[in-house]
């Protein structure tokens, strides 16, 4: 009777091993290197075994995203346990979110679809790539009052802009649960806010 449970526990174990092996491969060699055969190697089985625990490779990724969200929620809960002021709590939660993204970089990547496909394009120093960012940077510079016009200050504003816009775009691309009006509202609000903060 109890042997059934032992066997079930063993099965759960290898299921867990598959996930751990996957994550360790990704941490060592990146998402593109993750293959069923490599996972099998790491858990000392052959590839078809994995299909008794996950219906396909995508199911492994899905489970890793789920695990990621559970971990993130835990981190956020821990972050606010010693705080009472809601404003402080909210800031602490976002900071926990931020820290999680870099502490569990690989999980964040699969959770939110952030990957660096061809970063070679940036290392190659192609001038066209700098075009748009230069345009924006220069226009921000123009707006900043002369007495504040340091490179560091403009950088900060530039990245704040970019973060808001790119963040909103990528959120819209990976999920599609927001309405167009809401997007316009957020975009207009955020951009307007930053612009007025620049001018004063």
Partner DNA sequence: TAACTTTGCTTAACGGTGTTAGATTATTTT
Partner DNA sequence: AAAATAATCTAACACCGTTAAGCAAAGTTA
Residues binding DNA (CB under 7 A): 3, 7, 11, 14, 34-38, 44-49, 51-52, 55-58
Q: Which is nearer to a second copy, 19 or 61 (CB)?
A: 61
Question: Are residues 110 and 62 in contact, defined by beta-carbon separation less than 8 angstroms?
Answer: no
- Compute CA distances 102 → 13, 63, 68, 147, whole Å: 28, 20, 12, 35
CB atoms within 10 A of CB 97: 14
d(CA 166, CA 137): 15
Pick one of DNA, a second copy, none as the site partner of residue 152 (Cβ within 5 to 8 A by kind): a second copy
Q: Kindly state the smallest distance separating residue 37's Cβ from a second copy, in Å.
A: 19
Residues 88-127 binding a second copy (CB under 8 A) are 89-91, 93-95, 97-98, 101-102, 105, 108-110, 112-122, 124, 126
Pick one of a second copy, DNA, none as the site partner of residue 17 (Cβ within 5 to 8 A by kind): none
* Binding of a second copy by 46 (CB under 8 A): no
Look at residues 35, 39, 45 and name the one whose alpha carbon lies nearest to residue 19. Answer: 39
Q: Which is nearer to a second copy, 10 or 139 (CB)?
A: 139
- Compute CA distances 52 → 14, 19, 118, whole Å: 10, 13, 34
């Amino acid at each position: 009777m109890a042997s059934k449970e032992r066997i079930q526990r063993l099965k759960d174990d290898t299921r867990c091993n598959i996930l751990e092996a996957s994550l360790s491969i990704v941490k060592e060699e990146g998402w593109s290197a993750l293959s069923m055969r490599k996972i099998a190697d790491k858990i000392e089985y052959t590839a078809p075994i994995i299909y008794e625990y996950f219906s396909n490779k995508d199911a492994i990724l899905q489970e890793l995203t789920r695990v990621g969200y559970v971990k993130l929620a835990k981190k956020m809960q821990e972050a606010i346990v010693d705080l009472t002021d809601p404003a402080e709590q909210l800031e602490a939660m976002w900071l926990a979110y931020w820290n999680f993204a870099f502490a569990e970089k690989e999980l964040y990547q699969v959770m939110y679809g952030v990957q660096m496909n061809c970063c070679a394009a940036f290392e190659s120093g192609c001038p066209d790539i700098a075009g748009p960012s230069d345009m924006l940077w220069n226009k921000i510079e123009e707006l900043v009052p002369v007495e504040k016009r340091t490179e560091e200050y403009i950088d900060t504003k530039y990245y704040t802009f970019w973060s808001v816009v790119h963040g909103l775009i990528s959120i819209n691309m990976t999920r599609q649960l927001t309405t167009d009006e809401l997007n316009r509202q957020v975009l207009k609000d955020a951009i307007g806010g930053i612009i007025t903060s620049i001018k004063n």
